[in-house]
Copies of this chain bind each other. A is one copy, B any other.
């Protein structure tokens, strides 16, 4: 039984890498997927379709192109990890969590204690709240390793 895990949210620290390395150390049967995490490439993903004078429409076109990737990967994942950092609005992470909740996809939030209160609705629908990437790896290991039978 192979698993697919979608990694959503903050792109300024190496939490994705830490989770992937931990999963590899534990030889988990898992494929990780993610949005494009190169910030500039993500913002420019619609530029090839023609330039826009208005920055709203530039953002709009790129966000829609990106959504082809993100929405599909979310629908095809078994589990999502949703990371909230201590900076920026990160509304896209909360948006992804809402998608997961409505689609019945279990997700784990990854964030510090300092933002518990504003994240309470997002956490309420999550299956777990982790404070470190290592904790996420522990949960995934419990979930995926075949101690079952």
Contact = CB atoms under 8 A, between A and B. Distances in A.
Interface of A: 1, 3-4, 7, 16-17, 20, 31-38, 41, 45-46, 48-50, 52-57, 59-73, 76, 78-79, 84, 88-104, 106, 108, 113, 115-125, 127-131, 135, 138-139, 142-144, 147-149
Count copies of this chain in the complex: 8
Given A53-B54, A104-B104, A148-B33, A68 B143 contact: yes
A21 to B, nearest CB: 11
B135 A49 contact: yes
B68 A89 contact: no
Contact of A48 (B60, B64, B121, B135): B135
A99 to B, nearest CB: 4
Closest CB pairs A-B (n = 7): A98-B98, A34-B148, A63-B124, A102-B102, A94-B94, A91-B94, A95-B98
25 contacts: A1-B31, A34-B149, A36-B142, A37-B147, A41-B142, A45-B142, A49-B128, A49-B131, A49-B138, A55-B117, A63-B123, A64-B128, A65-B128, A67-B106, A68-B127, A70-B121, A89-B119, A91-B93, A91-B94, A91-B121, A92-B122, A94-B98, A98-B100, A98-B102, A99-B99
Given A89-B89, A122-B91, A147-B38, A61 B128 contact: yes
A131 B50 contact: yes
A34 B127 CA distance: 19
